[in-house]
Amino acid sequence: MRGSLLVDHIGELVTNDGRDGDPLGIRRDAALLVEDGQVAWIGPARDAPAADRRIDAGGAAVLPGFVDSHAHLVFAGDRAAEFAARMAGEPYTGGGIRTTVGATRAASDDDLRATVRRLRAEMLRQGTTTVEIKSGYGLNVADEARSLRIAAEFTGDTTFLGAHVVPAEYADRPDDYVGLVCGPMLAAAAPYARWIDVFCERGAFDADHARAILACGQAAGLGVRLHANQLGPGPGVQLGVELGAASVDHCTHLTDADIDALAGSDTVATLLPGAEFSTRSPYPDARRLLDAGVTVALATDCNPGSSYTSSMPFCVALAVREMRMTPAEAVWAATAGGAAALRRTDVGRLTPGARADLIVLDAPSHLHLAYRPGVPLIRQVLHNGVPR
Ligand code: NIG
Ligand code: FE
């Protein structure tokens, strides 16, 4: 949309500019000017410039759009029965991933595309303006490549997760599967991928396999992120730090050495409380990470197995209530933290030059996201400066 747009009468503007020691960089009684899809100016409402169009925020809070840095949206079918069994006491093992692989392989391109479109629209309605999308339910050359090709229709942050689990047909020869992932599968996936990811966990890929796969991905020009320390302690977090990963995700079971490694690095710890909620597992200790100086992000992990939520506001509420993050820390982690986890500087903040991705809340303050859980507080979303 051409022309300028003024968002006026903002009671509380969260900029994330880190100014004056306030990570959220809150401005009161502010206005924000959008030009060419970017933030062109912010300042006191009384100094607001003229513009072609105007949105009156009516004293409400305005935040950067959420940056959901971890989502598995390319899949078919659901696993509601597995969820019901877990709520009746069954543990989560990740074994259900193979069920989704079968359904995904059998689905048409249009079915997969329709699912991504539906979930992406769900996310946008809940304030998410940037999303990372992983493959990982194809697990053969053709289905991983098409998963990423479809994901790339919706985001630039696409992640090759051919190493999600070893598919059934390779169950007795995992080394051969690692060779497939590093060879023809990576070659077919890389043109559509920005990142490479591995599920480094007992029952999935061990440290040696993960290191080999991530190194191949790096050599092909992909950035590293990984699923680490979700179901138990393990080598994933320290491996991620060693390889300069942008983010290690889950971080549910951490030793002091894991925390020290993260604190001395620029690797982000991405916490996915929807997974602990939906698998009825203990939550990660966000306080311990934050107090050690680790950069923390929040994401949904949206997938049909361990966390079938597309809602960042829900994750913010869980982080505050269950992981002892302050509302300010949780909002920062869901916006600027997600941007850091994707190594993006154009999103997750509302400062001049940033993308005009923002949320007008139906509330006077960011506090209400956790204070009013489950309430649809997203009044309006601007994506690239365009009202959605
Ligand atoms: O991040 N942990 C591995 N992958 C997903 C779960 C995928 C599934 O259960 O289908 C996760 O939780
Ligand atoms: Fe995941």
For 126-154, b where at least 16 C-beta lie within 10 A, e where not — what string? bbbbbbbbbbbbbbbbebbbbbbbbbbeb
For residue 181, the 8-state DSSP code is I
pTM of this structure: 0.98
Q: How far is the CA of 165 from the centre of ligand 2 (A)?
A: 12
Question: By alpha-carbon position, which residue is closest to atom 8 of ligand 1?
Answer: 305
Q: How far is the CA of 306 from the centre of ligand 1 (A)?
A: 5
CB 368 within 8 A of CB 361: yes
Ligand showing the shortest atom-to-Cα distance for residue 94: 1
Query: What is the structure's pLDDT at 311?
Result: 98
Spacing, Cα 70 to ligand 2 middle (Å): 6
* Geometric angle at alpha carbon 212, from 207 and 214, rounded to 5°: 90
Residue 112: name the closest of 166, 72, 55 by CA. 72
Residue 306: CB within 6 Å of ligand 1?
yes
Distance of CA 383 from the midpoint of ligand 2 (Å): 25
Write the residue with the smallest CA distance to atom 6 of ligand 1: 306
Each residue's pLDDT, cut to its tens digit, for the chain (388 residues) gives: 579 999 999 999 999 998 888 999 999 999 999 999 999 999 999 999 999 999 999 999 999 999 999 999 999 999 999 999 999 999 998 889 999 999 999 999 999 999 999 999 999 999 999 999 999 999 999 999 999 999 999 999 999 999 999 999 999 999 999 999 999 999 999 999 999 999 999 999 999 999 999 999 999 999 999 999 999 999 999 999 999 999 999 999 999 999 999 999 999 999 999 999 999 999 999 999 999 999 999 999 999 999 999 999 999 999 999 999 999 999 999 999 999 999 999 999 999 999 999 999 999 999 999 999 999 999 999 999 999 9
Smallest CA separation from ligand 1 atom 11, residue: 306
Cβ–ligand 1 distance for 127 under 6 Å, the answer no
Helix (H/G/I), strand (E/B), else coil: 267: coil
Q: Does 301 sit in the ligand 1 pocket, CB within 6 Å?
A: yes
Note the pLDDT of residue 19: 85
Q: How many Å lie between the centroid of ligand 2 and the Cα of residue 230?
A: 9
Residue with tokens 């077919």: 188
Q: How high is the pLDDT of residue 43?
A: 97
User: Does the beta carbon of 159 lie inside 6 Å of ligand 1?
Assistant: no
What contacts 24+ positions apart, CB below 8 Å, involve 247-253?
A: 247/69, 247/70, 247/297, 247/341, 247/342, 249/70, 249/225, 249/299, 249/301, 249/341, 250/275, 250/284, 250/301, 251/284, 251/289, 252/276, 252/281, 252/282, 252/283, 252/284, 253/229
What is residue 94's predicted lDDT score, i.e. its pLDDT? 86
Find the DSSP H helices in the chain: 80-87, 97-106, 109-125, 141-151, 174-180, 186-189, 207-219, 236-242, 256-263, 273-279, 286-291, 312-322, 327-332, 338-341, 368-371
Q: Determine whether the shortest distance from the Cβ of 97 to ligand 1 is under 6 A.
A: yes
Candidate of 227, 247, 302 to mutate for ligand 1, largest count of ligand atoms within 8 Å of Cβ = 227
Ligand 1 centre to CA of 271 (Å) is 13
**Looking at the CA of 72, which ligand is closest?**
2
Upper half-sphere CA count for residue 193 (Cβ side, 13 Å): 29
**What pLDDT, on a 0 to 100 scale, did the predictor assign at position 352?**
98
Helix (H, G, I), strand (E, B) or coil at 188: helix
Q: Chain-centre distance of CA 133, in angstroms? A: 8
Ligand 2 geometric centre to CA of 134 (Å): 8
- CA–centroid distance, residue 69 to ligand 2 (Å): 10
Residue 75 CA, closest ligand 1 atom number: 10
Ligand 1 mutation pick, 68, 97, 133, 200, max ligand atoms within 8 A of CB: 97
**Per-residue pLDDT, 1:** 56
pLDDT for 134: 98
Helix axis angle for 109-125 and 141-151, nearest 10°, is 40
Task: Please indicate whether residue 278, judged by its CB atom, sits closer than 6 Å to ligand 1.
Answer: no
| Side chain identity, residue 84 | A
Pocket of ligand 1, candidates 70, 72, 104, 137: which has the most ligand atoms within 8 Å of its Cβ, to mutate? 72
Measured in Å, residue 2 CA sits from the centre of ligand 2 at: 38
pLDDT tens for residues 348-362? 999 999 999 999 999
